Amino acid sequence: MRIKEHPILTFPEKKKIWFTFNGQKVFGFSGDTIAAALHALGVMTLSHSLEMKRPRGFYCAIGNCASCNMIVDGIPNVRTCVVSLKEGMVVKTQTNKGDLNDI
Amino acid sequence: MIFKDLVIIGGGPAGLSAAKIAAEAGVSCLIIERDPFLGGQLIKQTHMFFGSEKQYAKTRGLDIAKILIDDCLKHQDLIEIMTSTTVVGLYKDKVITTLHDDTYNKIKAKSIIVSTGASERFFAFENNDLPGVYGAGAVQTLMNVYGVKPADKVIMVGSGNIGLIVSYQLHQAGVKVLKVIEAASNIGGYKVHASKIRRIGIPIETRKTIKRAIGKDKVEQVEIVSLDDDWNIVDNSSEIIDVDAVCISVGLIPQRNLLSMIDIKTKFIKELGGIVPIINEDHQTSDKDVYVCGDVSGVEEASSAIVEGYYTGLIAARNLGKEHQDFKTLNIDYKNQLLNLRSGPFGKKTLKGLEIMKEDANVK
């Protein structure tokens, strides 16, 4: 969900950026990070824990904690909270440490 | 390999300020920033700062970021900026490995200023890994930088300044903050912030903590319990509340990981936020060509990070053979500004931490 009214900040309409999330075509806006765009779409689970496969969302949103690592354009362990969204990106939920065979 | 006189790792308030002064002294520098933009955590601070005019008091944090960035852009001949670039390796011969998109690069520096800031502390409770358990700074980034509403109903854990300020900003973004809970018997942050959120009807409840988050794929409820004076859970004090997010604001930890790659001497000083590099008066670490400033050398506020940045830039430039034309005046001025900033009740903690640091600071 996007903030529409704010007493201090303004959020002018920006260019739509289309990307794929787990096979589904969705969009965010220019200036979004991948994680911000997904959160605005209501997606909270970005990865799964390695052993128990428990769902993980982001925690820090500034590139420290690795909780938001996803597979982006075939590359695993991308910190989606600091990587800007680009047209046509292919984003997938990550469930392992990242495997060379997945690339 | 790229060669640079001064490389500054982290383009937040400390790093930007260091670059400005070093460039004024004639040093060519490079700022490396992991985010797509400069400004560090200032860019999400919609509130006005305290302090004095010299640290831009009564200006909103995001506007202070603009001022500091503009100051650097005035020296484009001397300050090079790399954004969306993460330092992934630091070596004792001052070689820095960076990662930008899929490309690794090596940069060799004469001196390095590490101004990597701090990261959010976490703490243990059942189901603390569920999506919806967020750092308070994280929801602030989502709302104020990206314009995304983090949740509809939240509770805030921790009543330090970050917890209080972010609660107010959540309210401004249309999020219902049910309450702020604090395990200690006193509110941690400034009274002025606490009063402000009480006025808008958000209760602050002390001697309470979160016992567990409840939910399958994301947070749906939380269990809150009361604590007695020995920090034990009070019987039958459990309260289950419906929420869709929990914000954690239980402090910050200096982000010193890079320094450990080059065996910089550190010490645990709780007053400064945890394990910090041992520095001398010139902000030099145990490697005299590696400096630190801002939260990485002790968690404080952006105002002190700015002044520490100016000071460290001034010293690093002199040690590179470029003495700033106002070196003497500025040197004294920055020291006095830091003393002033640390003269309040919160500054006492920092001063005590710095005293403890001095016991180990005979590193030259």
Percent above pLDDT 70 for chain B: 99
Interchain pair A61, B141: CB under 8 A: yes
pLDDT confidence bin for B364, thresholds 50/70/90: very low
Interchain pair A49, B129: CB under 8 A: yes
Interchain pair B129, A5: CB under 8 A: no
A39, A62, A63 member nearest B148 (Cβ): A39
Q: Which of A62, A67, A83 to mutate to test the interface with B (most CBs of B within 10 A)?
A: A62
Answer whether A83 touches B (CB < 8 Å).
Answer: yes
The pLDDT of residue B57 is: 84
Rounded mean pLDDT of A80-90?
A: 95
Residue pLDDT, tens place only, B175-226: 999 999 999 999 999 999 999 999 999 999 999 999 999 999 999 999 999 9
Q: Which CATH number fits domain A16-95: 3.10.20.440, 3.30.910.20, 3.20.20.70, 3.40.50.1110?
A: 3.10.20.440
Distance from CA of A91 to the nearest CA of B (A): 15
Interchain pair B147, A1: CB under 8 A: no
Least CA distance to A13: which residue of chain B?
A: B147
Residue pLDDT, tens place only, B212-257: 999 999 999 999 999 999 999 999 999 999 999 999 999 999 999 9
Domain limits, chain A? 16-95
Q: Which of B47, B141, B149, B250 to mutate to test the interface with A (most CBs of A within 10 A)?
A: B141
Residue pLDDT, tens place only, B337-361: 999 999 987 889 999 999 999 887 6
Least CA distance to B147: which residue of chain A?
A: A3
Interchain pair A40, B144: CB under 8 A: no
Dihedral sign (CA B248, B249, B254, B255): positive
Interchain pair A55, B131: CB under 8 A: yes
Answer whether A52 touches B (CB < 8 Å).
Answer: no
Interchain pair B134, A8: CB under 8 A: no
A9, A46, A62 member nearest B141 (Cβ): A62
Interchain pair B148, A59: CB under 8 A: no
Answer whether B12 touches A (CB < 8 Å).
Answer: no
State the Cα–Cα distance between residues B185 and B230, nearest whole angstrom.
11
The amino acid at B297: S
Residue pLDDT, tens place only, B8-43: 999 999 999 999 999 999 999 999 999 999 999 999
State the Cα–Cα distance between residues B88 and B9, nearest whole angstrom.
11
The pLDDT of residue B291 is: 98
What are the chain B neighbours of A46 within 8 Å (beta carbons)?
Answer: 131
Q: Which of A3, A34, A52 to mutate to test the interface with B (most CBs of B within 10 A)?
A: A3
Interchain pair A44, B217: CB under 8 A: yes
Among A2, A20, A24, smallest CA distance to A11 is for A2
The pLDDT of residue B360 is: 72
Residue B326 clears pLDDT 80, i.e. is over it: yes
Q: Are B170 and B147 in contact (CB under 8 A)?
A: no
Interchain pair B84, A82: CB under 8 A: yes
User: When comparing pLDDT for A92 and A101, which is higher?
Assistant: A92
Residue A34 clears pLDDT 80, i.e. is over it: yes
Mean pLDDT of chain B: 95
Least CA distance to A64: which residue of chain B?
A: B119
What is the ipTM for the molecules in this complex? 0.94
Query: Which 233-272 residues of chain B touch chain A by CB within 8 A?
Result: 255
Going along chain B from its start, the domains and CATH numbers come out as 2-119+252-358 (3.50.50.60), 122-248 (3.50.50.60)
Answer whether B168 touches A (CB < 8 Å).
Answer: no
Residue pLDDT, tens place only, B263-278: 999 999 999 999 999 9
